[in-house]
Structure 1
Amino acid sequence: MPNPQSQAPLTGVRVVELGSMYAAPTAGRMLRDFGADVIKIEDPVHGDFARQWQPAHEGLAIGFSRLNSGKRSVGLDMRQQEGRTVARQLISKADVVIENFRPGRMEAWGLGYAELAADNPKIVMTRVSGFGQTGPYSERPGFGTVAETASGYAFLNGWPDTPPTAPPFGFADSIAGISAAFGTAMALFRREMAGQGSEVDVALYEPLMFILGDAVLNYTSTGTIMQRHGNASGAASPRGIYQAADGTWLSIAASNQSIALRLFEAMGRPDLKDDERFATNTARMANNDAMQQIVIDWVGSHPRSEALEILDKYEVVAAAVNDSKDVTEDPHFSERTLVELANTVLGPALMPGPILHMKDYAGPTYDGVPSVGQHTREILVDELGLTSEDVDSLASNGVVNAS
C-alpha cells in the first residue's frame, strides 16, 4: 500500500516562511498540510511572537502549536546583513516565499520580488500585509482586529442595541492566511503552465470584505446601510440560535422556502403555510419578530436532543451550538476533522486538521512543535552547503540560533 504522504499534492514544494503571528503562518500551515516542506525563519532569540501567546501549557503556546507543527525552524536575525544573505540563499533554492512584513521592508532589505526573481525566476512570493502592497494605506501597520473593523465586519457583528463587536479569535487573519495559500497554489499552477513565478498580494481586510460584499453592493445600489441583526441574517426568516428546554442551544437555518415549510411541519404548525404573514420569505421578514417568537416557543418546549431529532426527521437544517467539549466528543468530527498533535508537552491533544480533503491523500501527521532554531544547522549544512564551522561562526555573531 503506498505511503499516503507520497500522494500529497505539494510534495517536493519548498516554502520559506518569513511570517510571524497568524496570517502568514496560517498560509504556511495550509501548504504544509498538503505536502510542502515549510522552513520557518524566525528571530533567533525570541522566535515568532506567537510563541508568547496565551493560552499556553507548560510554556508552549496553544495557538503557535496549532499553526506550526511540522514546520522546520531556522533561527535567523534578519536585522543583520549576514542574516539577510542566508535568507536570500535559502529563498533562491525554494519554490515559495511567504512574508508578512510591512510593505517596503523586504525591498529595504534587498529581498523584494525583483531581487528574489533575479536569483530564482520561478519563485512565488506571497505577501500578506494589513492593507496590501498598493493604495493610500499600504504603509500602515495592520492586525486582524483592524481588518475586522476596516472591512465592515465588526459594524455588522452583534445586536442592534450593542456596540460593533470583533471576534474573540483570529478571524481576519485566518481567512487571509487561507486566501494566501489559495493564491500561492494558483501561482504554482501558473508557473507550471507558463514557466514563470509571480507575486501574490493579500491584504488582511480584503478576503473578509469579499465575504461581506453584499453590504457594499446593497449600499451602492440602494443607498441602504446594512445594520446589526444579532443571530438573524437580515436576508431570510426564520434563522437564528434558540434555547432548548434543558438550557442548551441550537441553530436553525430555514433560509429557503422549502426548508421553512418543512420547519412548519416539524413544529406541528402546517397552518403557517397559509398564514399571509409567514407564507413567503418576504412576508416572514416583514413579520420577523412574530415568526421568531413561534420558533423560540417551540424550541423552548423541547430538550435539545429531542428538538434536533424532530428537525432531522423533517430535514430541517439545524445543529447543536457546540462548545469545545461537544466538538471533541462528536463522532462525526472525530472521524473526519480532528487530528492528534503528538509528542509535545500538551499531551495527547486534538486539533482541527486540514481544511479540505483530497482523494488518495490521507493528510499529514502532526508530530511535535519545533523549538526556535531546531533545524538551523541541518538546513544550512544540507541545503546551503555550509560547514558546521560556518554555522558556529554565524551563531557566535548572533546571526543564527543553531542550538
Structure 2
Amino acid sequence: MSDNGAPLAGLRVVELGTMYAAPTAGRMLRDFGADVIKVEDPRTGDYARQWIPQKDGLSLGFSRLNAGKRSVGIDLRTDEGRDLVRRLIDEADVVVESFRPGRLEDWGLGPEVLRESNPGLVIARVSGFGQTGPNRLLPGFGTVAETASGFANVNGWPDSPPTSPPFGFADSIAGLSAAMGVSMALFNRSRTGRGEVVDVALYEPLMFIIGDMFLKYTALGEVQQRIGNSTGAASPRGIYEAADGKFLSIAASNQAIAARLFAAMGRADVIDDPRYATNAARLAHNDEVQAMVIEWCKRAPRDEVLAILEKFEVVSAPVNDAADVVKDPHFQERTLVEITGNEILANTLMPGPVLHLSGYDGPVYDGVPTVGEQTREILTERLGLDDAELARLAAAGVINDGGK
C-alpha cells in the first residue's frame, strides 16, 4: 500500500477482533495508512467470513471490513500461538481486540503484561458492556446494544414493536469510536511516550446519540416513545410520498427553513398563523402541519417536488435505495470505491473512508485476504522465523500459513 500522504503510514496494528465492531476500528485505521495485521483462527478464520450475502463463497460483509488488511492464522488457544501473538504485539503500536473482558488476561495477554515490554502500546478493547461495571462479563452483540441502550424502544412507529436496524448500527458506531479513541491515545503518546487502554462498550456511543431522551426523563419525568419519522423536536420534518409513489425527506428544522417550505408549498401565509408561527406551536399542531405537507407532496412526481424544494432552499433529498446511490454522480465521485485485486469482486463498489483529509488521496482496497494468507510473510518479516520453524508450527496446528 502506497503511503501517498496517509497520516497513519508506518503505524503497526494487530487486530484480534472478530465479526464487526473491532474490525470496523481496524478498517478505519487501515483507511488512513496503518498496516493492519488481522489475527484469525487458523481453521475457521473470522466468523464474519460466513456472513451472507456471499459471491462465489466470499462474504461481501467480511470483504467490506477487511479489504487491504493482512491475515495471519494463529491459534490463540495454544501456548505457542499466544507467544507468537505476544511477539507480534511487541513490535506493534496498536492492538484492537473484542474478546469478553478477562479473556486476554486469562491468556497472559492483558494490558499490564503487554505494556511491560511495549510501554507505548495503545490497546483498544471493544466489548458488549465495557471493561468495568456490574454487566462487564455479559456477552453482547450489536443487537443487545441496540436494545439495552434504549434505541430500539424509540425506533419505529407508535403501533409497531421496538425495532432494531437491519444492519450493524451499534457495532459500526462503536468501531468508529474505538478508532477515534486510538487516535487520541496516539496523540497523547506523542507527548508522554506511553500508551493507554481505550475501553469501548458497544452500547455507549449509541446511547450518546439518543442522549436527549435521558435528559427528558431525568429533567421532565417523560419517557420517550416511538414517534415514527418525527424527532419530537422540530416540525415539519419527515418522509413523504410523492405522486409517483416515490419517497423524499424534508427537514424544516429551523424557523427560516420552515418559512421557505410553506412558501414553496404556495402557503407563505401559514407562517403567520399563530398555530404554526413557531416551532413550539407547530409541534403542538404537528398532525395538522404534517397533513399539509403530505397533501402537497402528493400533487407532483418526486423529481418535481424536489426541484421546487431546491429552488426555495428547503433541506430535502430523495429516499434512495442501493441502485439510486450507486448511480448518483455525487456518490460516484466522492464516496464509493472499488475493491481491487480480487476477481470475485471485480467492479464491486462499497463506501470508502468516512472522512476526507486535504493532504491524503485515500486508500486503495487491494484485495481481501484468505485465512492466513500473509502468515509466512509476517512471521518471517516481523519475527524472523525460518522455513523449518514455520513448517513445524503449521504441522502442529499452531499456525495456518496459507497452504504454502
Contact 2:182 2:198 in 1 (8 A): yes
Within the alignment, does 1:253 sit opposite 2:251 as a pair?
A: yes
Within the alignment, does 1:394 sit opposite 2:393 as a pair?
A: yes
Following superposition, the deviation at residue 335 of structure 1 comes to 0.5
Distance 1:256 1:192 in 2: 42
How many residues are treated as equivalent by the alignment?
401
Q: How does 1:231-242 map to 2 (within 5 A)?
A: 231-242=229-240
Contact 1:147 1:204 in 2 (8 A): yes
- 1:349 corresponds to which letter in structure 2? T
Distance 1:300 1:174 in 2: 36
Distance 1:184 1:145 in 2: 24
Summarize deviations over 1:247-290 as a string: whole Å, max 9, x none.
11000000111100000011110110111111111110010011
Within the alignment, does 1:118 sit opposite 2:102 as a pair?
A: no
Summarize deviations over 1:94-130 as a string: whole Å, max 9, x none.
0000000000000000000000000100000000000
Contact 2:229 2:237 in 1 (8 A): yes
Q: Which moved more, 1:102-111 or 1:339-348?
A: 339-348
What is aligned with 2:202?
Answer: 204
Contact 2:6 2:33 in 1 (8 A): yes
Contact 2:325 2:331 in 1 (8 A): yes
Distance 1:328 1:43 in 2: 35
Following superposition, the deviation at residue 343 of structure 1 comes to 2.7
Paired residue secondary structure (1:182): helix
Summarize deviations over 1:54-85 as a string: whole Å, max 9, x none.
01111000100000000000001101111000
Contact 2:41 2:74 in 1 (8 A): yes
Following superposition, the deviation at residue 366 of structure 1 comes to 0.9
What is aligned with 1:379?
Answer: 378
Contact 2:75 2:399 in 1 (8 A): yes
Query: Which of 305, 315, 318 is the matching residue for 2:316?
Result: 318
What is aligned with 1:133?
Answer: 131
Following superposition, the deviation at residue 347 of structure 1 comes to 2.1
Summarize deviations over 1:169-202 as a string: whole Å, max 9, x none.
0000000000000000000000001111100000
Query: Which of 160, 169, 185 is the matching residue for 1:187?
Result: 185
Within the alignment, does 1:16 sit opposite 2:25 as a pair?
A: no
Paired residue secondary structure (1:7): coil
Paired residue secondary structure (1:383): helix
Contact 1:4 1:361 in 2 (8 A): no
Distance 1:388 1:290 in 2: 76
- 1:350 corresponds to which letter in structure 2? L
Task: Extract unaligned runs of 5+ from structure 2.
Answer: none
Query: Which of 47, 50, 56 is the matching residue for 1:49?
Result: 47
Paired residue secondary structure (1:107): helix
Following superposition, the deviation at residue 341 of structure 1 comes to 1.2
What is aligned with 2:368?
Answer: 369
Q: How does 1:139-288 map to 2 (within 5 A)?
A: 139-288=137-286
Distance 1:245 1:156 in 2: 30
Distance 1:320 1:83 in 2: 52
Distance 1:347 1:13 in 2: 29
Contact 2:4 2:361 in 1 (8 A): no
Task: Extract unaligned runs of 5+ from structure 1.
Answer: none
Paired residue secondary structure (1:226): coil
Summarize deviations over 1:119-166 as a string: whole Å, max 9, x none.
100000000000000000000000000000000000010001110000
Contact 1:12 1:37 in 2 (8 A): yes
- 2:368 corresponds to which letter in structure 1? V
Contact 1:144 1:173 in 2 (8 A): yes
Q: Which moved more, 1:335-344 or 1:98-107?
A: 335-344
Paired residue secondary structure (1:5): coil
TM-score, normalisation: structure 2? 0.98
Report % sequence identity: 65
Deviating above 6 A after TM superposition, structure 1's stretches of 4 or more consecutive aligned residues are none
Paired residue secondary structure (1:312): helix
- 1:97 corresponds to which letter in structure 2? V
Summarize deviations over 1:328-379 as a string: whole Å, max 9, x none.
0001110100011123212211100000000010000112100000000010
Contact 1:149 1:166 in 2 (8 A): yes
Distance 2:155 2:274 in 1: 31
Distance 1:170 1:380 in 2: 33
Q: Which moved more, 1:269-278 or 1:36-45?
A: 269-278
Distance 1:214 1:393 in 2: 57
- 1:179 corresponds to which letter in structure 2? S
- 1:136 corresponds to which letter in structure 2? P
Summarize deviations over 1:13-38 as a string: whole Å, max 9, x none.
00000010000000000000000000
What is aligned with 1:79?
Answer: 77
Following superposition, the deviation at residue 6 of structure 1 comes to 3.1
Following superposition, the deviation at residue 4 of structure 1 comes to 7.2
Paired residue secondary structure (1:224): coil
Query: Which of 101, 104, 111 is the matching residue for 2:102?
Result: 104
Paired residue secondary structure (2:4): helix
Distance 1:342 1:181 in 2: 24
- 1:358 corresponds to which letter in structure 2? L
